Structure 1
Amino acid sequence: METLEKVGKGWFGAFFYEVLLDGLPLMNHRRLAGRLIVDDPDGWAEHYPANHRLHGTAMASIILHGELDAKEPALSRPVYVRPILKPSHHFSSPPPECIPDDYLVVDLIHRAVKRILTGDGEEEAVAPSVRIINLSVGDPDRPFIHEMSPWARLLDWLAYEYNVLFIVSAGNQVGPIEIPGVTETQLKSLSSKQMTKSVLEAIRSDSANRRILSPAESMNALTVGASHEDSSACGSGVSNQVDPLPLADFNRPTIWGSSGRKSGSPSIVLPGLPSPINGLGLGYRRAIKPEVLLPGGGRLIRSSYYLQTPPYWRRIAMPLPQVSRWLNRELNWVTMMVMVTVASTSNAAALASRIGGQLYEVLLQLQHQPHGDRLEEIYFPVLIKALLVHGSQWDKAYDVVAEVLPDPGKGGSKKDGVSRFLGYGRVFYERLLHCTEYRATSLGFGEIGDEQTHRFAFPLPPSLSGKKVWRRLTVTLAWLTPVNVNTYQYRGAKLWLNPPADTLDVKRKEVFWQSAKRGTVQHEILEGDEAAVFEEDGMLVIDVSCRGEAVDLNEPIRYGLAVTLEVAEGCMFSIYNEIKERIPQPVRIRV
């Protein structure tokens, strides 16, 4: 691991695009050596023992390598690390890493970001090319309740002022989960569906106490929650374990052995189910928060039952601090799940930052394609933000979560309730990095002023006209907005689009369309399978509009747009090649 003093300022600034604000990582770890540049201007390393450097090491590893069990290649560029956490004075071993008590978090973050991007005092910027900042940290004493926290407001201002994307974890809720009326014997015999439903119902009942944590409500940041999954093929070595969300395609007992799943038990967890540790949305003015889910680890509980009058529970430290574990207790016929965790949503946010780094490389490659000279790096933050959300969807997780929500009444919808758990859904990031002959993605970007509209015309594949085949249109718009902290509206710029549903005879799915317009990412999925007829030179026209809200827009707003058209695999034609052949020139028209 290199230090800033060793490599010298300015030498590396041109190729940095990612920052980790976290705990101090382990020096010279075999997976990190030579891949990190650590900037420690306050000299915290001297009082940061190696055996306490857990969180920063884990986050750096995930950003660079992803989940180790997945065996993915490392990022090609180093990551800049600025420590903002220190070991606390705590009786546990190792002590938790947190923002020091003698620092104001807003001052610490502001100084760190300013030093990186513009310089601090007379010193020049140490990494001015950075476009992504990972913040897998939250305030457990500041859950989001109606008002924006100072930390979130700072991130919103920094993101817009310096044109940088913050990727923030939703926050971990480690309080007990109460499942009334379930005894030890009943718990062991629950089917996968019954266990999953019981846990999600318990979380929903306690949702007021399980909200996202500051600064996850930030309007400009991309907030990431955890899905209940990982690439591990074995258990954690503790006997009598239970998976709290074990839903698979069949009903089986859900007890695990010490070496993994028992023979005949479910082997596949439904992708996209929210982790029980997640802080729940929504965000400010009911904006979608967290926007996306990514694998944060499959958590297990260990059965250990007690009956007490009056009932009580307590946390128990587990022997392996790098592994999150669950402790299950029965209290007066109420099952309590108490979690001691390292930070599941932190893992998910770090994974999102890793994908952001991969998307950065893809955008750099696109600069060398025809018309790539128009793709300037100033648009990378909003394009990466749009693309990270672009790969998300609810899929089958919607049915599981919707089943535990109360009936919204006549004319109501469960979609807003599902959004609190899923956001826009789990990111299937493999779809972001490449197209197929049945799936084509186009990008748009620009700067738009108040009361302006930009029109994008994307070519349609002629072979699709008149064909009765399943198709999906996914449209994602993202931007960074100025904010006004003195008004309830807060958001300075509202951008929106209306998907061209009629052109392809497709209908909106998943997130309620009005909810999608409340933040700084609008993500819509439309599907259909009826024949749609259009001209041979037909175009898919999308208008991006802008209007000032809480501020007078004196500067144009940068935005990124991602549009994907896909058809059922096995079709007799390649929509990718047909679309590519019909893009001879830039497609944006200013209105």
Structure 2
Amino acid sequence: LYRTRITGTVLLDLVDNHPHVLSIDTPPSIELEGMELLDIDNPRLPGSLDQVAAGPPIVVIDGGVIPERPLIRRSLNGPAHRSFIPDTPAWIDGGTDGHGTAIASVAALGSLRSKLLRPAADDQVLPVAIARVLDDNTRLPEAVNVKSAIPEIANQMREMNRAQVFNHSLASRAPFNRQRMSVWAEALDRTAYDNGGPGCLFVVATGNIDGAVSPSITQLEGWLTRPGHPRYLADERCRLRNPAQAINVLTVGAYVPQAGAPFTQRQTMNRRPIAQNGAPSPFTRTGLGYLREVKPEVVEEGGNFYIEAGTRLRRNAQLTDVAVANSQFARDGRLIRFMNGTSVAAPKVAHLAGLIERTIPGASVDLIRALIVNAAHWPERLATTEDTLRILGYGVPDPERALLPGGARCLITIEDRIPIGSAHYFRIPFPTDLFDPTPETVIRVSVTLAYRAPVRKTNAKYRGTILEWGFSKMGESFDQFRRRCSTVNPEDSTDDEADIEDEPIGNWNWTVKQRLRTRGTVQKDWFEAPASDFEDEMFLCVIGRRGWLSKEQQDAGFEQSYALAVAIEVAGVAIPIHERIEQLVRLQVPVRA
């Protein structure tokens, strides 16, 4: 068995004139693409990389960058950059690790593999602003006080660049403390909340299982045999690294869309990928979160680990992993290198957030977060629903589902402010006549609520407010629905899980269930049912309750902003439900209970 790179002429000669050649095959596409990426040079870059989209930049809170790298040069040309390391004014990287350059390239381009090998006319490259906090050794200096640095970065970047999306691919060595919220995570939560103002969206990596703290690499190697991947990821020692437990941020884990290992390593070293197609990355850290809520909320491509000779773990990235800009291009001539880690998964989600900003001008950070989570789907289902939510969150966000509603997918968005102690009600029409010929058609309904709560780490409840949503059950009238929701009694209820009842009998078959989904500040659930089960209208409510917020603050009219994304999809049939509901929908003035 031989591996070679040949021209088309030689290939034809082998096929036509050499009877001892029994078979010819090409490398797996992901490996072939990696080889092609390594061969790309500056003059052959797609012209679409020159098309930097207008609008505010994605802020990358990370190390410095090499600004003249061809892949990110234009993205960095325009936004204001700053170093937030005391006595280190330069935002240019003086080291060789290139972490900041790599993260900036993914935030700007999304998938470098797609942008370089399959360029499209409508490709968008996003501007990026650098907020430097790591030194030349990719370490967080002791002089950087994250409690003050996080709000300072947000305030200055909003003022200089009008930015509201921030990528945060940083983590401490230790997993988060379940008994007490950290200063770092609280700083992210407070800054995102912004005293009830416009706020900002922090996209935060879960952190990696890298042997720096428990579990050790020896422990991980043992787990690969028993209980095996991905079951070991549900172990408590694999929980999120601080500050990924922050409740007002969008936490991102890693998965492997397409597994592979370079051919020569497979043949000579018996090297195999650990995670298979659609599986969580072997190093991704997992939830549940500080409030036992769903964390991470989403996952994105983060690369793989490999097993060699059946037992030895290999963690170094291969050309089948995530392509990033190479900060050492001037030295070795390679535009691309490859990385693995949740650090490179987070900026891909930040890139999607930037695309939503441009598709829906004026979208709040709550709506952006709701749309990303609502567009997510599980790449695979693990042993139990809770294990799937702990490891994969709500799944992989699909840009088309977030950006391009229409046809068989209807998307309804709502943004509002609710006084705590009250409820908002909405009517959603459903075109039952569309399905008279095919009543067995499967309909999928998903609801996502996102809000940013005031927080206080000195209070055991941590969040000052709690919102939850309710949905009418089959055949339920508005009066029946409203009476059922009123039993929650939001005026007097506090953030006590005992007050949250399970789904009522006769309800739709929701996936996550109310008790688990209500623990977080982004709450998604979904069900599937035949079209024949739907009436002409459905009802949705949002209920505002107190956490540590005082009764006096509630009586003074304290309001909580929120966003809802409701998707109604037809499975497998091109029925234009979006256009019909768009004609019918008239969101009523919210009714305050």
Structure-1-length-normalised TM-score: 0.72
Higher helix residue share: 2
CA distance, structure 2, for counterparts of residue 179 and residue 159 of structure 1: 35
Shift of 1:211: 1.2
Q: Which residue number in structure 2 is paired with residue 172 of structure 1?
A: 208
Deviations 1:376-399 (A, max 9, x none): x3x51000010111012336x22x
CA 1:503 to 1:62, structure 2 compared with 1: closer, same or farther past 3 Å? farther
Shift of 1:86: 1.1
Out of 442, 445, 457, the residue aligned to residue 470 of structure 1 is 442
Letter in 2 for 1:361: R
Quick check: 1:363–1:380 contact (8 Å CA) kept in 2?
A: no
CA 1:446 to 1:229, structure 2 compared with 1: closer, same or farther past 3 Å? same
Shift of 1:578: 1.1
**Is residue 420 of structure 2 the alignment partner of residue 446 of structure 1?**
no
CA 1:353 to 1:481, structure 2 compared with 1: closer, same or farther past 3 Å? same
Residue correspondence of structure 1 range 225-236 to structure 2 within 5 A: 225-229=253-257, 235=262
Quick check: 2:233–2:391 contact (8 Å CA) kept in 1?
A: no
Shift of 1:82: 0.9
Letter in 2 for 1:126: M
> Aligned to 2:512, what secondary structure does the other structure show?
coil
CA 1:209 to 1:237, structure 2 compared with 1: closer, same or farther past 3 Å? farther
CA 1:149 to 1:460, structure 2 compared with 1: closer, same or farther past 3 Å? same
Q: Which residue number in structure 2 is paired with residue 285 of structure 1?
A: 291
**Is residue 489 of structure 2 the alignment partner of residue 459 of structure 1?**
no
Bigger drift between 72-81 and 107-116 goes to 72-81
Shift of 1:224: 0.6
> Aligned to 1:126, what secondary structure does the other structure show?
helix
Shift of 1:518: 0.1
> Aligned to 1:383, what secondary structure does the other structure show?
helix
Q: Which residue number in structure 1 is paired with residue 328 of structure 2?
A: none
Out of 538, 541, 554, the residue aligned to residue 540 of structure 1 is 538
Deviations 1:26-72 (A, max 9, x none): 12111111212322365647596555251111111111111211226
Quick check: 2:467–2:544 contact (8 Å CA) kept in 1?
A: yes
CA distance, structure 2, for counterparts of residue 495 and residue 17 of structure 1: 30
Quick check: 2:432–2:534 contact (8 Å CA) kept in 1?
A: no
Q: Which residue number in structure 1 is paired with residue 528 of structure 2?
A: 527
Quick check: 2:273–2:307 contact (8 Å CA) kept in 1?
A: yes
Quick check: 2:445–2:567 contact (8 Å CA) kept in 1?
A: yes
Out of 536, 546, 551, the residue aligned to residue 549 of structure 2 is 551
CA distance, structure 1, for counterparts of residue 352 and residue 318 of structure 2: 28
Out of 109, 116, 130, the residue aligned to residue 150 of structure 2 is 109
Q: Which residue number in structure 2 is paired with residue 299 of structure 1?
A: 305
Q: Which residue number in structure 1 is paired with residue 56 of structure 2?
A: 16
Quick check: 1:355–1:429 contact (8 Å CA) kept in 2?
A: yes
The unaligned stretches of length 5 or more in structure 2 are 1-51, 212-216, 324-337, 477-505
> Aligned to 2:563, what secondary structure does the other structure show?
strand
CA 1:48 to 1:431, structure 2 compared with 1: closer, same or farther past 3 Å? closer
Q: Which residue number in structure 2 is paired with residue 566 of structure 1?
A: 569
CA distance, structure 2, for counterparts of residue 79 and residue 130 of structure 1: 10
Letter in 2 for 1:566: E
Shift of 1:485: 2.0
Out of 126, 139, 159, the residue aligned to residue 160 of structure 2 is 126
Quick check: 1:212–1:280 contact (8 Å CA) kept in 2?
A: yes
Deviations 1:504-536 (A, max 9, x none): 9973343233110001011011111261353xx
Letter in 1 for 2:172: D
Out of 417, 431, 435, the residue aligned to residue 387 of structure 2 is 417
CA 1:138 to 1:589, structure 2 compared with 1: closer, same or farther past 3 Å? same
CA 1:197 to 1:530, structure 2 compared with 1: closer, same or farther past 3 Å? farther
Deviations 1:271-292 (A, max 9, x none): 3x22111111111121111111
Q: Which residue number in structure 2 is paired with residue 152 of structure 1?
A: 185
Quick check: 1:444–1:560 contact (8 Å CA) kept in 2?
A: yes
**Is residue 245 of structure 2 the alignment partner of residue 275 of structure 1?**
no
Shift of 1:542: 0.7
Q: RMSD value over aligned CA atoms?
A: 3.3
Out of 381, 386, 400, the residue aligned to residue 365 of structure 2 is 381
CA distance, structure 2, for counterparts of residue 433 and residue 197 of structure 1: 39
Quick check: 1:172–1:343 contact (8 Å CA) kept in 2?
A: no
Letter in 2 for 1:294: E
CA distance, structure 1, for counterparts of residue 453 and residue 567 of structure 2: 25
Count of residue pairs the alignment pairs up? 470
Shift of 1:426: 2.5
CA distance, structure 2, for counterparts of residue 48 and residue 64 of structure 1: 17
**Is residue 344 of structure 2 the alignment partner of residue 351 of structure 1?**
no
Quick check: 2:305–2:316 contact (8 Å CA) kept in 1?
A: no
> Aligned to 1:227, what secondary structure does the other structure show?
strand
CA distance, structure 2, for counterparts of residue 79 and residue 49 of structure 1: 15
Structure-2-length-normalised TM-score: 0.72
Letter in 1 for 2:390: R
Shift of 1:457: 1.8
Deviations 1:390-438 (A, max 9, x none): 012336x22xx21xxxxxxxxxxx4333322122223233321112421
Q: Which residue number in structure 2 is paired with residue 223 of structure 1?
A: 251
Q: Which has the higher contact order (CA 8 A, sep 6+)?
A: 2
Shift of 1:342: 5.3
> Aligned to 1:34, what secondary structure does the other structure show?
helix
Out of 100, 107, 110, the residue aligned to residue 63 of structure 1 is 107
Letter in 2 for 1:80: A
Quick check: 1:458–1:541 contact (8 Å CA) kept in 2?
A: yes
